[in-house]
Amino acid sequence: MAEIEQITAEAHRRTALLIDEIQAINLQTAYRAERFAADTELLLRQATEQQHTEKEAKEPEPAVAQPIRENWHEPAPCPQATPPPLMIDPNRTPQQTEIHAAVARARAARRAHSTVTPSDGDVDPESEYYRRSVWIH
């Protein structure tokens, strides 16, 4: 009977040590999370302020009214919008990366306004009708 009491006392002692260790780890994790949140907030605030100052510096002064085009039969030149810089998520899984790449390829194909060729090399004139770029958009 005394042996069982010793075993249970030792189990309680080890359990208490483990609980104390887990509580210490939880406190450290909470402290690191708070520090990370504060650092991230500071970095985001600095980046936002920097973007605002860069944007204000880049914005030209309002120009005089644009002259009216004389020839309305020709399309007006349309400025090309530059895509936003590519932001790669470091937590992205390989499957998410693969899906993102497939979506990007599909988007590029839609924007190309060209006839899509089948990947298996089966090119026949009849199927080209169904692969018109007008229907792919």
Please give the tally of structural domains in the chain: 2
Q: Is residue 65 part of a domain?
A: no
Domain encompassing residue 110: 91-137
d(CA 134, CA 116): 11
User: Can you tell me which residue has the tokens 């009216």?
Assistant: 68
Q: Is residue 122 part of a domain?
A: yes
pLDDT in tens, 13-67: 999 999 999 999 999 999 999 999 999 999 999 999 888 887 777 766 655 555 5
- pLDDT for 120: 60
d(CA 92, CA 99): 11
Q: Is residue 137 part of a domain?
A: yes
pLDDT in tens, 77-127: 655 556 556 666 778 788 888 888 888 887 777 766 555 555 566 666 676
Q: Is residue 132 part of a domain?
A: yes
Residues 49 and 102 in one domain: no
CB–CB of 93/110 below 8 Å? no
List C-alpha distances in Å: 126 to 4, 112, 131, 133: 86, 22, 10, 15
